[in-house]
Amino acid sequence: MNNVTEQIVTGGDVLVDTLISHGVDTAFTVSGESFLAVLEALRRKRNQISLITTRQEGGGAFAAEAFGKLTGRPAALFVSRGPGATNAAIGVHTAKQDCTPLLMFIGHVPSTSQGREAFQEIDLTAMFTPIAKAVLQPNTADQVAIVTARAIALSVAGRPGPVVVVLPRDLTDGAVSQPSIPAPSQRQAVAPDGAALEQAARMIANAKRPLLLSGEIVAIQDASAALVALAEAMGAPVMTTYRRQDTFPNAHGAYAGHLEINRLPYQRQALEDADLLIAVGSRMDGISAEDGALPRQHQSLLQIYPDGEVLARCQAALPLLSDPAAACQALAQKLGAPRIPHIAEISAWRDELHQAYLDSSEPGAVLVQGAVDLSLIAGEVQRQVPPETVILTDGGSFARWIHRFYRFHQAHSQAGPVSGAMGYGVPGGIGARLARPDCPAIVFVGDGGFMMTGQELVTAVEQNIDLVVVVCDNGVHGSILEGQRQRFGSEQIYGTRLTSPNFADVARAYGCAAWTVERSEDFATALRGAMAHAGPALIHLITDDRDIAPFDKGPDAV
């Protein structure tokens, strides 16, 4: 005779069934007693949705963010109330600033206990509303499926982002009286208005120095080919916005580099010379837009974006509400040499900028003081790995070396936090490998960032995930220390030096293969060994704190 509880369809059951029916096939968790019914439903459907147990909620959130960034569809994250939710908040904030679809479900106190400061209770709506796209909560078990479906749709609509769903325990434990799963809804395409397109074409035709800026929605919506078509029709150069280098093929003759925290002299000059900036799928984040300094007073901004709220906030001269591919394709058809009177001059400017990019991204272009030159490390990775390899960079100054000297040739081959959140790298690498299982992944992380979430290597060992982690260890919080040097002098460095363990020994204790490299010339052998190893591997790379970033010292050097 069956147990009565086995015949009940719970809120947890319909939640998991809704995820599966809407195409969510990957979930992360640090388990909690507040969502046991969900865990049981996931166990029963484990052949349809994978559940990866991470060691800390922030790691789970970073892994889910990387998965969503590289696939354009959300992964689910299940955490418990209070400490679990607060730990995961860093990944929610990262997903918000990166425009990444993500679903976070928080097992909460029973609905009858809310508002009484129950054990581990937090006002989750107040906490997450500023950093999430939406915070939702069902009021009954029968609403769980509907709210879950709404969360999935919201996460990918307009500007994608993280949606938080609060799940009182009694609703996921409770019986659903009429179990039904809402049908999946397709994201509605955002087509450009004809009159706005014609106005955009006129702006471009009248420009003498138009510069295209490629952003996050180009990646999310696979719009790189359409952007290439537009750039070729215009004869114009393209710069990629912060940490979005894979949105435009770096070998293309129109590519003019990456809007890093530091700008190279040729980029600063190009940004001054441009009379029209065309932001394609970019929300013009703080780093890319120089905290609002772009556009300059003498420049116009044409912004193509599928979310009206973003357009209203940026206040471009011409906000064009559209998915980037549709707008780029339509504009490319409208434009051409007869329509653009200055195309010869624009093309010559484009060629100069591309050559400047090539010269500036050649490994060895920067004089280093230590025994490890990170530009040569980036070049060696370029030689050894296939172009579809996903390169992840954690928050930290070391990442600027990779951004400058590694050339991205394929879409969906880069991941890193626009928010600069440290600790992204290792769990992000796990998410990347699950998102793109046929593509290798290499994580560059600093010693500080590794100490925050490096324990997620255990998750990679447990899941038998091939992953190469390069720990760039200079014993300091680099950008902060460099700021102290410049502002107060080398004798006033305080609170920025780190004492760390032997990272190779730590990795071996976790069950990984590991190498230690102290000279640039020894890296190639270590990388070959790490790439050939079945399972996660770590390279402990000893760098010099005098080689913080590959840019001239100056007011924007940190």
Residues 6+ apart with CB under 8 A from 55: 30, 455, 456, 458, 459
**pLDDT recorded at residue 387:** 96
pLDDT in tens, 108-119: 877 776 667 766
For the chain, what is the mean pLDDT? 93
The single-letter code of the amino acid at 18 is T
Q: What is the mean pLDDT of residues 414-429?
A: 96
Q: What is the mean pLDDT of residues 400-419?
A: 97
Please choose, from the candidates 477, 491, 385, 517, the residue with its C-alpha nearest in 3D space to the C-alpha of residue 439: 385
Angle formed by the axes of helices 194-206 and 324-334, to 10°? Answer: 60
Residue with tokens 């960034």: 69
Task: Quickly count: other Cβ atoms within 10 Å of residue 33's Cβ.
Answer: 10
| Strands of the 318-321 sheet, one edge to the other | 255-258, 238-240, 210-214, 276-280, 300-305, 318-321
What's the first-to-final CA gap in the chain, in angstroms? 69
Kindly indicate the confidence band of residue 2, based on its pLDDT and cuts at 50, 70 and 90.
Answer: very low
Kindly indicate the confidence band of residue 1, based on its pLDDT and cuts at 50, 70 and 90.
Answer: very low
Q: What is the mean pLDDT of residues 80-104?
A: 96
The answer to pTM > 0.85 is: yes
Residue with tokens 């990957």: 26
**Structure letter (DSSP) for residue 499:** -
pLDDT in tens, 352-375: 999 999 999 999 999 999 999 999
| Strands of the 441-446 sheet, one edge to the other | 414-415, 390-393, 441-446, 467-473, 536-542, 513-517
Distance between CA 213 and CA 233 in Å, rounded?
A: 15
Q: What domains does the chain contain, in order, with CATH numbers?
A: 4-173 (3.40.50.970), 194-360 (3.40.50.1220), 374-542 (3.40.50.970)
HEC profile of 380-424: HHHHHCCCCCEEEECCCCHHHHHHHHCCCCCCCCEECCCCCCCCC
Distance between CA 554 and CA 77 in Å, rounded?
A: 42
Kindly indicate the confidence band of residue 337, based on its pLDDT and cuts at 50, 70 and 90.
Answer: low
